[in-house]
Structure 1
Amino acid sequence: MFERASEEGSTRIGPIVNPARWAEQVVKEQACQNPADTKAFKGRGKLLELRQLLTELECTVIAMKHLVDITKQVQNSQMYLMLHVKTATGLTFLRWRERNGACRHVPWPEVQDRIDAFTSDVRDWYGQATDQALALNERHKELRRAIATARKVVMRSAPSVFARSIEARFQPSKGG
């Protein structure tokens, strides 16, 4: 639908943005606190929200890696989960991969067909692993959407500038 612009890392409508990287930079520099976040010092506002979302995103990726490790430890298994990260957007997701032969990715519908052919114990285990992988993939997407929404709010909001009193607070000392 979108055509690539001549410059890499952008589309015809604008640059590709990795919301998680943007949020990490904003939190590090506290960039949204000063120009746009009037509630930052009250324990509310976008900076706090971004910190919480980034923490949840990091926990989700850790859970994904843990699930990958568990599936790779199963001996004589036909498939294991693999963690994929799209560099440009930062999208992170789990996919099943064949262990033998072609070592290709196994599409989700084919995974279900393969799982149905296993014995009940193995079928249950693979079913649970698949359910967890799908839930973690969806959670990662939800968190990225929330970060992208927060980014839009910060980018659209005009910086809040508050006038300060110009009255002199310095009183010259008498006598010298």
Structure 2
Amino acid sequence: MAVWAADTVAGRRCQDAVDTKGLKGRGTLIELRHYVDKLAGIEREMVDLSTLSKLARTPVYLMVHRRGSTGYAFLRWRESGASKRHLSLEQIRKLVEGWPTESRAWVEAMSQNALSLNEAHLHARDALKKIRVDVLAREQHVLPRVV
């Protein structure tokens, strides 16, 4: 779905089908481009947050996961070391109970940032999905071109 949106914006394949209000700045292609850019920005922020969590050299870090079939990306806590198992937010909170106050506050802030980025990613993907459904359901007005 996000791949379809990125291809559509980059290739302008469906200019006639998507941008019904061309030259007015209010067409679906403009909205589609907005959400493709927003999704890319969110994914860059996810990578930045993951990198920042690794720089702290704590026994846990945030990892960006991507579902290959759908392109869905999300942040999850992961243990450092040999096991590298995934940890839920509850497990993270139990793990950091004995840590200094500053470290606990840092982990909580990182967790909140990760949750908000995950949610923003879902909202952007939902918006792209709605646009795609709208575009594919719309009757296409294709006029023959004189060659």
Normalising by structure 2, we get a TM-score of 0.91
Percent of aligned pairs with the same amino acid: 33
Give CA deviations for 1:96-153 in whole Å, capped at 9, x if unaligned: 0001231111122212222333221111000000000010011001100000000000
Counterpart position of 2:53 = 71
Counterpart position of 1:22 = 4
CA distance in 2: counterparts of 1:137 and 1:70, whole angstroms: 16
Counterpart position of 2:79 = 98
Q: What one-letter code is carried by the residue in structure 2 that aligns with 1:103? A: K
Counterpart position of 2:99 = 118
Counterpart position of 2:139 = 158
Counterpart position of 1:31 = 13
Counterpart position of 1:40 = 22
CA distance in 2: counterparts of 1:78 and 1:161, whole angstroms: 58
Counterpart position of 1:128 = 109
Range moving further from structure 2, 138-147 or 98-107: 98-107
Runs of 4+ in 1 over 6 A off after TM superposition: none
Conserved? CA contact 1:115–1:127, under 8 Å: no
Q: What one-letter code is carried by the residue in structure 2 that aligns with 1:93? A: F
Greater CA radius of gyration, 1 or 2?
A: 1
Q: Tell me the secondary structure at the aligned position of residue 23 of structure 2.
A: helix
The gaps in structure 1 that reach 5 residues or longer are: 1-18, 164-176
CA shift for structure 1 position 161:
5.1
Q: Tell me the secondary structure at the aligned position of residue 84 of structure 2.
A: coil
Q: Tell me the secondary structure at the aligned position of residue 83 of structure 2.
A: coil
CA distance in 2: counterparts of 1:122 and 1:154, whole angstroms: 48
CA shift for structure 1 position 36:
4.3
Q: Tell me the secondary structure at the aligned position of residue 81 of structure 1.
A: strand
Counterpart position of 1:107 = 88
CA distance in 1: counterparts of 2:14 and 2:21, whole angstroms: 11
CA shift for structure 1 position 40:
2.5
The gaps in structure 2 that reach 5 residues or longer are: none
